[in-house]
Amino acid sequence: MIQRAMGFATYYSLMLFLVLLPLLAIAQTTNNGRIDVNASLIAADNTSYWLSPSKEFAFGFHRPENEDRFLLSIWFEQIPEKTVVWWSYEKETEFSVLVEAGSKVVLTTSGLVLRDPQGEERWRSVLNTGQVDYAVMEDTGNMVLVGPNSDQVLWRSFDNPSDTLLPTQEMGFQGQLFSRKKENDFSLGKFQLHLFDNGTLTINVINLPTRYIHGGPYYSSDDNNPNASNSGVGLIFDKSGDVYMLRKNGDKSPIGSGSKLPIQSSDYYQRVTLDVDGVFAQYYYPKKSNGNWSTAWLQPINICSWTSPIGSGACGFNSICSINDKTGRPNCECAPGFFLIDPNDPYGGCIRDDELNYCQKDAFELETRKNINWPLADYERYGVSYTEIECKDSCRDDCMCVVAIYNADGSCFKKRLPLSNGRYGSDDRSVSFVKVRKGGRTSPSIPDDEVPNLDKDKKERIFSVTGSILLGTSVFVNLIRLFREIVPIYGGIPPLISLSQYGISCVNQTKSV
């Protein structure tokens, strides 16, 4: 009888452990944010992480949306979005380090070391000197590695930013931020914020993967500082929420303009981020209630007005950039007859929707658009004596011509692929003629054998969810029945699992066997 009871108890304990397993994935509490050497985290869903003392920031593994792999990151822990503010990346390439489930980061005396399940090193916090005694996840969102001397800082996440700065964070000479490729894709984007040794802060479009800068910057701190002798010495984000360039003489040149932070800025989470659309903006979020990130200011005011002789411009090739009057953000849409290369990436550029023969006149027509232009993409120009009809006919008869632009002064410009620096402007009085397939635009076709059966998919999902619910319910009911049988037999809850450590209290029933 006792042997039978022990068998039931072991089985029950194991099953109860499996039921409670998701509850085990909780934050690892630390002593004032302190992490000791040999502490580790494992990449998995609902895994543990290291918290700051205020529990406002967390350090651990984040799995981006629609991604099977994990990213070692720091994020805002107390808001539903869990907004990521830092992630691990390769120093030389700036590429994010995505790792498989089961990968492990360990705090060693030589720094944080990230290894994949096969034991291969994928990333480490490079130290210039010294050995790590412990680490601290600070309330500022800064992960700090400390040497034997408590004031000896060996490495900081604040010195290795990704796309975001936080209050109390500063950026010195050669400091950089890089945008993400997409909101949930932490690959290197095409926008770069850089503080040069001459004290100039710029935001540029770069070529991937070489990071070659296309043309001049679309934002420069020197635009507001004509005195070169009073150049900048650092980009400062102070604890009150002000973001500015600190000058040699102590002057503070604000980066943002427009809206201001709420008066009680300490009641809000704050960040400044170089976003996927190339805009550098300051955000705030209420600490005491759920809400959304609100924009305090952004730079530049109109990124669409920037042009470069090399590259695609603010949006991708064959796109049109326009500014949203309410948000100040750029909208990127495809030129007539084109569609997005990646439907989930409006900034990634567009391609033609079909194989249009620009020489076959009966296959295309010229669509007329106003106030749209693609500056610097010209290969031919006609003088001011041209008429609008002549400009249009000239493009129709030219196999190389994709777009013709007719200006109010009578000039005509012809453009070939790819179209670059596309933009819309209400003050642009030009007329565009774009070659498109006759009869209207077409969408990329999907072979019949690749078209999903929506009704079938819905049914399968319903049956799958229903089956999971029924299975989960039956397992739970069986556990309850087993619980009622075992507790009287065993004389209480089996000792394999202590429920009190999970905050669950039970009244033991005792009965002699």
CA 103 to chain centre: 22
What mean pLDDT comes out for the span 126-136? 93
Distance (Å, rounded) from C-alpha 283 to C-alpha 272?
6
- Asked whether residue 18 falls in the same domain as residue 134, the answer is no
Q: In terms of pTM, does the model score above 0.85?
A: no
Please, how many CA atoms are within 13 Å of residue 238, restricted to the half-sphere of its CB?
10
289 in the same domain as 321: no
121: domain CATH number is 2.90.10.10
Q: What mean pLDDT do residues 325-330 have?
A: 92
Q: Is residue 509 part of a domain?
A: no
What is the average pLDDT across 342-358?
88
In a domain, 510, yes or no: no
Answer yes or no: do 170 and 295 share one domain.
yes
**pLDDT value for 439:** 77
Angle at 141 between CA 135 and CA 142, to 5 degrees: 45
Mean pLDDT of 122-149: 95
The residue among 461 and 259 whose pLDDT is bigger is 259
Q: Based on the domain organization, do 38 and 168 belong to the same domain?
A: no
Contact 165, 178 (CB under 8 A): no
Check residue 137 and give its pLDDT.
98
Tokens of 327: 């948000």
Work out the average pLDDT over 106-131: 95
- CA distances to 244, 306, 323, 327 from 301, rounded to whole Å, are 17, 11, 9, 10
Q: Rounded to an integer, what distance in angstroms lies between the CA atom of residue 404 and that of residue 250?
A: 52
> pLDDT tens across 392-449, in order?
999 999 999 999 999 988 999 999 999 999 999 877 789 999 999 987 654 443 333 3
Same structural domain, 50 and 145: yes
| pLDDT 10s digits, 3-17 | 554 454 444 444 444
Predicted local confidence at residue 383, as pLDDT: 83
294 shares a domain with 271:
yes
Quote the pLDDT of residue 28: 59
CA-closest candidate to residue 138, choices 148, 146, 130: 146
**HSE toward the beta carbon, residue 370, CA cutoff 13 A:** 4
Query: What band does 27 get if pLDDT is binned at 50, 70 and 90?
Result: low
Q: Does residue 306 form part of some domain?
A: no
Average pLDDT over the chain reads: 81
E strands present in 147-260: 153-156, 164-165, 170-171, 176-182, 185-195, 201-207, 212-220, 232-237, 243-247, 252-254
192, β-bridge pairs: 178, 204
What contacts 195, CB < 8 A, 6 or more positions away?
171, 172, 173, 174, 175, 176, 201, 232, 234, 235
**Within-domain flag for 448:** no
pLDDT tens per residue, range 56-115: 999 999 999 889 999 999 999 999 999 999 999 886 666 789 999 999 999 999 999 999
The residue range of the domain holding 61 is 31-160
Q: Please say whether the beta carbons of 356 and 435 come within 8 A.
A: yes
121 lies in some domain? yes
The helix (run of H) or strand (run of E) holding residue 471 is helix 454-490
Question: Token pair for residue 345?
Answer: 């990436």
Residue 507 falls inside a structural domain: no
Give the mean model confidence (pLDDT) for residues 446-469: 38
Residue 454 pLDDT class (50, 70, 90 cuts): very low
Scored b (16 or more CB within 10 A) or e, 502-513 reads eeeeeeeeeeee
Q: What is the pLDDT at residue 261?
A: 73
Which residues, in sequence order, are CB contacts of 306 under 8 Å at separation 6+?
A: 218, 300, 313, 314
Same domain, 156 and 35: yes
**Closest C-alpha to 413, from 424, 59, 400, 426:** 400
**Model confidence over 183-235: pLDDT tens digits?**
999 999 999 999 999 999 999 999 877 788 888 899 998 765 556 678 889 99
Domain boundary residue, one of 420, 443, 466: 443
256 in the same domain as 133: no
Domain C-terminal end among 301, 328, 347 = 301
Q: What is the pLDDT of residues 150-168, one digit of tens each?
A: 889 999 999 999 999 999 9
Q: How is the chain split among helix, strand and coil, in percent rounded to 5? A: 20, 35, 45
Residue 91 has which token pair? 């120093």
For residue 226, give every residue at least 6 positions away whose Cβ sits within 8 Å of its Cβ, in sequence order, or none: none
**Residue 469 confidence (pLDDT):** 37
CA distances (Å), origin 318, targets 215, 331, 358, 448:
18, 14, 16, 29
Q: What is the pLDDT of residue 105?
A: 98
Other residues' Cβ atoms within 10 Å of the Cβ of residue 170 = 15
Beta-carbon count within 10 A of 115 CB? 18
Instruction: Give the model's pLDDT for residue 431.
Output: 95
Domain count, the chain: 4
Select the more confidently predicted residue: 35 or 291. Answer: 35
Is residue 296 domain-shared with residue 204, that is, in the same domain?
Answer: yes
Please check whether residues 152 and 88 belong to one and the same domain.
yes
Percent of the chain whose predicted confidence (pLDDT) is above 90: 59
pLDDT the model gives residue 262: 72
Q: For the residues 356-381, what does the mean pLDDT come to?
A: 91
Residue 412 in any domain: the answer is yes
Which residue, 409, 424, 443, sits at the end of a domain?
443
pLDDT at 224: 57
**253 falls within a domain:** yes
Statement to judge: residues 55 and 17 lie in one domain: no
Domain identity same for 16 and 35? no
pLDDT band at 499; cut points 50, 70, 90: very low
